[in-house]
Amino acid sequence: MLNIALFGPPGAGKGTQAEDLIDKHRLFHISTGDLLRKELKEETPLGLEAKEIIASGGLVPDEIIVQIIEKTITENPQAGGFLFDGFPRTYIQAYILEGLMIKLNTSLHCLISLEVPEEESVQRLLDRGKTSGRSDDNETVIRNRLREYREKTLPVLNFYRERGICHEIDGTGTVEDVRGRIQRVVSEELSKRLLNVVLFGYPGSGRGSLGMALAAKHGLEFIATGRMLAEEIRKDTETGRRVRELYENGQLVPDEIVVPLIEAKLRQRNGNGVKGYIFKGFPRTLVQSYILDGLLRKHDSAINTVLEIEVPTLELITRLEARSKTDRCMPYDSELPKIVRRLEEHENKTIPVIRKYEKLHGVTPIDGRGSLEEVSERVSNVIENAFKEMR
Ligand code: AMP
């Protein structure tokens, strides 16, 4: 989700700039001014209560604002993000917004304040008044609205400065000039986003080599639980010794071992400028799919792209059997019965996860036949598109 608030005095150009942002980033536009005018037009009890206040240029009570905002947000749960325009306008509304965002398991990502000198605001509003048909676009009311802004709204910036998401930009110049400045702030915010790819496929479908090549190419980190466990065994850590014992007895590694390893990887993220992750071998059960959602959410992130590498079964067995005779052989696929068990395990436990993702995110099938370069190219195109979608 991308949630942005446009802030600034009346006449700063919030509505004009909002149009471009909602189109470009598919945001749901919430303008409290528009919502109030709609209530007013429909002569609802809320509209009638706000009528006099709006006409005089004062601020409508927070109790009314919270009702219209909450209603609009809950009626649009499918929104990919919200653009708030003219809200929050008081300290209380800033707290309200924070609460509403927490309820949706997200947060406000940036508040963009358009700075325009007071006299320029007045002039712009007087010009707008010639065509807007808004009764509050006349000089006396405009002056009142600007006073309310100075006294009650401007201090709200401190709330966001403290949270490190306040961006004050020059709101003068042409619409395009201001748009460019806003776009720079939004692009910077988006560049912090993680792209999370889940790579599915039967054992032997080439996920390991593919994942490594693609991670290097796209600046992503490859999280392959099998490799992480092998690394623990190689380093002979306490976890490694437990895992070796489980492998030798033909048992599965429990989530209690795998999950902390993934959690530790995700925690390192901030230090190394990684753009996202490619997950392989996790989630392999429905339970693990819930765990991954939770782990990503902790980083205000989520799964973006799910891929399934498709290779015919006979070719899988041929590939795995050939590998078992090389030094790349894993302890769990050293002989045919073990290989068959792993394929069955995927069929029974992991295919249901893919079915679940099909409904939630869509799963892109990738033809896994051919050389590593050919398959990489197919996956790369999907990843590049996913990056474009995100930005
Ligand atoms: P706007 O269209 O944003 O300029 O808003 C027009 C008028 O609606 C304002 O002058 C206020 O009277 C009222 N209003 C809009 N949004 C809010 C808000 N968040 N809090 C209080 N009053 C608001």
Q: Of 159, 190, 221, at which residue does a domain stop?
A: 190
Q: Measure CA of the first residue to CA of the last residue in the chain; give whole Å.
A: 12
- Residue 31: which pLDDT band, with cuts at 50, 70 and 90? very high
pTM above 0.75, yes or no: no
The verdict on 230 and 180 lying in the same domain is no
The verdict on 182 and 200 lying in the same domain is no
Pull the structure tokens for residue 243.
């895992």
The verdict on 165 and 258 lying in the same domain is no
User: Residue 159: its pLDDT value, please?
Assistant: 97
Pull the structure tokens for residue 23.
């189109």
Report CA torsion sign: 282, 286, 287, 292. Answer: positive
Report CA torsion sign: 288, 292, 298, 300. Answer: negative
Q: Which of 20-34, 207-221, 248-262 shows the lowest mean pLDDT across its residues?
A: 248-262
CA 32 to centroid of ligand 1, rounded, Å: 6
Q: Which residue among 7, 36, 96 is best mutated to probe the pocket of ligand 1, counting the most ligand atoms within 8 A of its Cβ?
A: 36
Q: Which residue among 29, 32, 41, 138 is best mutated to probe the pocket of ligand 1, counting the most ligand atoms within 8 A of its Cβ?
A: 32
The verdict on 231 and 372 lying in the same domain is yes
Q: Of 157, 190, 223, at which residue does a domain stop?
A: 190
Average pLDDT over residues 38-44: 95
Amino acid sitting at position 332: Y
The verdict on 215 and 341 lying in the same domain is yes
Length of the chain: 391
The verdict on 111 and 207 lying in the same domain is no
CA 67 to centroid of ligand 1, rounded, Å: 14
Average pLDDT over residues 50-69: 94
Q: Of 173, 190, 207, at which residue does a domain stop?
A: 190
The verdict on 214 and 238 lying in the same domain is yes
Quick count: other Cβ atoms within 10 Å of Cβ 274? 17
- Residue 82: which pLDDT band, with cuts at 50, 70 and 90? very high
The verdict on 199 and 180 lying in the same domain is no
Give me the DSSP letters along 213-281.
HHHHHHT-EEEEHHHHHHHHHHHT-HHHHHHHHHHHTTPPPPHHHHHHHHHHHHHHGGGGT--EEEEES
User: Residue 206: its pLDDT value, please?
Assistant: 94
Which residues have any ligand 1 atom within 6 Å of their CB?
Answer: 10, 32-33, 36, 53-54, 57-60, 65, 86-87, 89, 93, 136, 145
The verdict on 235 and 355 lying in the same domain is yes
User: Residue 326: its pLDDT value, please?
Assistant: 86
The verdict on 178 and 201 lying in the same domain is no
Pull the structure tokens for residue 260.
């902390």
Q: Which residues of 11-34 are buried (b: 16+ CB within 10 A; e: fewer)?
A: bbbbbebbeebbeebebbbbbbbe
Q: Which residue among 59, 90, 124, 128 is best mutated to probe the pocket of ligand 1, counting the most ligand atoms within 8 A of its Cβ?
A: 59
Average pLDDT over residues 108-118: 96
> Maximum Cα–Cα distance for the chain, whole Å?
86
User: Tokens 């560049």 appear where?
Assistant: 191
User: Residue 391: its pLDDT value, please?
Assistant: 64
Identify the top-confidence range among 143-157, 262-276, 322-336, 377-391.
143-157
- Residue 247: which pLDDT band, with cuts at 50, 70 and 90? confident
CA 60 to centroid of ligand 1, rounded, Å: 7
| CATH code assigned at 202 | 3.40.50.300
CA 331 to CA 338: how far, in whole Å? Answer: 9
Average pLDDT over residues 181-196: 91
- Residue 80: which pLDDT band, with cuts at 50, 70 and 90? confident
Whether 26 shows a pLDDT value over 90: the answer reads no
CA 85 to CA 30: how far, in whole Å? Answer: 6
Average pLDDT over residues 270-289: 88
CA 103 to centroid of ligand 1, rounded, Å: 24
CA 381 to CA 371: how far, in whole Å? Answer: 16
User: Residue 270: its pLDDT value, please?
Assistant: 56
Closest CA to 228 of 279, 284, 164: 279
Which residues are within 8 A (CB) of 344 and not within 5 positions of it... i.e. 6 or more apart?
A: none
CA 304 to CA 27: how far, in whole Å? Answer: 17
Quick count: other Cβ atoms within 10 Å of Cβ 223? 23
Residue 256: exposure state from Cβ atoms within 10 A (0-12, 13-18, ≥19): exposed
The verdict on 199 and 334 lying in the same domain is yes
CA 165 to CA 259: how far, in whole Å? Answer: 31
- Counted domains in the chain: 2
Angle at 372 between CA 370 and CA 376, to 5 degrees: 105
Q: Give per-residue pLDDT as tens, 160-172.
A: 999 999 999 999 9
> Which domain, by its residues, includes 51?
2-190
CA 31 to centroid of ligand 1, rounded, Å: 9
Whether 283 shows a pLDDT value over 90: the answer reads yes
User: Residue 14: its pLDDT value, please?
Assistant: 95
Average pLDDT over residues 202-219: 94
User: Residue 272: its pLDDT value, please?
Assistant: 67
User: Residue 271: its pLDDT value, please?
Assistant: 56
Mean pLDDT of the chain: 92
CA 349 to CA 111: how far, in whole Å? Answer: 44
CB 14 within 8 A of CB 173: no
User: Residue 301: its pLDDT value, please?
Assistant: 85
CA 101 to CA 153: how far, in whole Å? Answer: 20
The verdict on 158 and 209 lying in the same domain is no
User: Residue 273: its pLDDT value, please?
Assistant: 75
